[in-house]
Amino acid sequence: MSIRQSRPWGVALLTAIAAVSTLLSTSAQAVDGDAAADSTYTFSAKIDVGGVRACSGALLNNQWVVTAASCFTEDPAQFDSLPAGAPALKSTVTIGRTNLIGTTGEVRQITHLIPRTDRDLVLAKLDSPVYGVSFLHPATTVPTAGEALKGTGYGRTKDTWVPDQLHIGTFTAGTVEATAIGIDGTPVCKGDTGAPVFREKDGRPELAAIASRSWQGGCLGSDETRTGAKASRVDDIRAWLTENTASTLNNWNLQMLTRTSTGLYHTMRNSNGDWTAFGDVQKVAGSIEDLAYAADAAIKGKNYVFAVGGDGHLYEANRRPTGGWEAFRDITDEVGSKPGLTRVAVTSTGSGLALIGLASGRVYHATQDADEKWSKWGDVSAKLGVLGNATQVTTTQTSGGDTQIGVVADKKAYHATRHSDGTWSAWGNISNQPTGLDAINGMAFAGTGSNLQIILTSPTGDKKHAIRADTTGSWSAFGNLGSRLGTEPTISVDAASVAREFQAAVVTADGKTKHILRHDNGKWDAVEQVAGYPGSPAGVALTGSAD
């Protein structure tokens, strides 16, 4: 069914354009954008405003879409008159549906609008969260003249009035203004207003601008030859975007450490999916010579970072809730020297920390109390038995005060529990469960309430997820994450519980860091490639922290 226009939309657009002297006016060949392949650019949104006009947009996070304010005003030239609040007409958003005839993706109602007054841009809140669809994060740098950009939209093409298929176009950035940029290339037609204009950086798209006004040259029904358009910048309003989507934020953050070929770097992700820029940990907390491994755990907002140096010593630093860092200090004498220390894992116990170490094939355990005093290493292998050829350890805490410990040894996965009274369970062989994996090279734990969630990886690139009920000790079926995280072999994996959400990250052999999130209701978000750190990634560590 076609979307009827209640007024001469194109004429109003051209009138608005004519008043803007900086709009690109150079001619470009009018070519249709290519149809987007299925399940690509799923952040793209089709917006139906009261059945009288259609626009495009982009999903910023689970519950917010960004588009053009002029989509919701009777006169597009008066976008700055749009009031905040519910839209005047019932407005529906279809997200993650490349072909509108299909059933993939989600459909939501817009309940609230938050417009800008200095540019044609508005935030639209959805009536409920969207899951399993990728987000489009705002850029941090302004587009430059001549820069190659892309855009996606559901607007008219040169031969179709109301396409059912998402199309992708290519543009060249022109004049850069205080609040807008000029773009030229693929025609921007009716229905493309609000479409995301983005660059692809470090293997992922980032939002540069939102399409606003165009000449519509090359569009069906237009005799115009000019294809230039105007788009509203977003790189300079990131703080405004974060502030005005805060109603769907909670006070929990994911903290991530990435160990690379050039050092150790830290970033944070809030509950709306916004990432901070990576910071150089060793620049602010001191250098660790030949850094071999790193792990972290948070108590409230304070993140404790542990590093194994090339000398086999163990170092501890912390990031305060205010963002400042306390320098690395050598804690080897406090916990006891363990020659051959190669791996550590750490978890919060509420008021303190539980630390697991792997040295010369043996597993050790130490604790830090509320006064930040360390116990000496205890020999877990002496208590529970030596696991041959151990290569990795992981740990988390579940409600009730139980510390869960995992070890990968002889390409098998093992699990034990240190109960709140200090007693230990025996090693359990997770590989005896129907994991579907012949060999295991990575494992990560995260405690979500009383349940233990686990991710396993194999040398051939398989990735599995399961949940162990702490009350019964029974395991769920092992689900396949390969369709989400890909099948590239994994060289590092970690997981964390963040406000009862299971979040995990992997570093793949082809040099990518990927993040995935499972909500408490069992729904998964789309996988996101994390970028912005210097060097090639070698390891990742995660923890959840509350402000």
**H/E/C letters for each residue in 131-175?**
CCCCCCCECCCCCCCCCEEEEEECCCCCCCCCCCECEEEEEEEEE
Nearest of 362, 318, 319, 322 to residue 340 by alpha carbon: 362
Query: How far, CA to CA in Å, does 464 sit from each of 174, 435, 439, 440, 476?
Result: 47, 7, 12, 10, 11
In terms of DSSP bridges, do strands 229-233 and 167-176 run parallel, antiparallel, or are they unpaired?
unpaired
pLDDT at 7: 31
Could you tell me which of 406, 481, 394 has the C-alpha nearest to residue 436? 481
- Note every long-range contact of 281-285, with CB atoms under 8 Å and residues 24 or more positions apart, other chains counting: 281/257, 281/305, 281/317, 281/325, 284/325, 285/317, 285/325, 285/326, 285/327, 285/328
Instruction: Give the residue among 520, 370, 518, 545 at the shortest CA–CA distance from 449.
Output: 520
Please, which contacts does 460-466 make with residues 24 or more away whose CB atoms are closer than 8 Å? 460/487, 460/489, 461/486, 461/487, 461/488, 461/489, 461/490, 461/508, 462/436, 462/437, 462/487, 463/490, 463/506, 464/435, 464/436, 464/437, 465/504, 465/518, 466/433, 466/435
In 10 A of CB 192, how many CB atoms? 28
Among residues 301, 304, 541, the alpha carbon closest in space to that of 445 is found at: 541
Name every residue whose Cβ is closer than 8 Å to that of residue 37 and which is 6 or more positions away in sequence.
Answer: 98
Question: Cα separation of 435 and 288, whole Å?
Answer: 38
Instruction: Give strand pairing partners of 296.
Output: 305
In this structure, what is the dihedral angle of CA atoms 414, 419, 424, 425, given to the nearest 10 degrees?
-50
DSSP letters along 42-102, please?
Answer: TTEEEEEETTTEEEEEEEEETTEEEE-GGGGSSSGGGGGGPPSBS-SS-EEEEES-SBTTS
Q: Count other Cβ atoms within 10 Å, centred on residue 5.
A: 12
Cα separations in angstroms, 434 against 174, 419, 429, 456, 473: 57, 26, 11, 12, 15
Q: Mean pLDDT per 10-residue run, the chain (547 residues)?
A: 30 33 30 65 96 95 97 94 97 95 94 97 97 94 95 85 88 95 88 94 91 85 85 96 92 96 97 93 97 96 96 97 96 97 97 97 97 97 96 96 97 97 96 97 96 97 95 93 95 96 97 96 95 96 93
Query: What are the sequence ranges of the domains in the chain?
Result: 9-244, 249-546
Beta-bridge partner residues of 451: 448, 469
* Inter-residue contact 79 to 115 (CB < 8 Å): yes
Using left for φ > 0, alpha for ψ between -120 and 50, and beta otherwise, residue 511 falls in left
- The answer to whether 194 and 73 are in contact (CB under 8 A) is no
Which architecture does CATH list for 249-546? Answer: 6 Propeller (2.120)
Rounded to whole angstroms, the Cα distance separating 113 from 122 reads: 7
Say what the pTM is: 0.89
294 phi/psi in degrees, rounded to 5: -145, 150
490 is written with which tokens? 């994994």
Distance CA 372, CA 357 (A): 18
Q: What is the CA radius of gyration of the chain?
A: 26
Cα(100)–Cα(164) distance, integer angstroms: 5
Q: How far is 182 from 17, CA to CA, in rounded Å?
A: 11
- The predicted pLDDT at position 33 comes to 59
**Can you list the alpha helix ranges (DSSP code H) found in 327-375?**
332-335
Instruction: Report how far apart, in Å, the C-alpha atoms of 318 and of each of 157, 204, 541, 543 are.
Output: 55, 31, 14, 13
In angstroms, rounded to a whole number, what is the distance separating the alpha carbons of residues 125 and 409? Answer: 48
pLDDT reported for residue 25? 31
Give, in words, the CATH class of 9-244: mainly beta
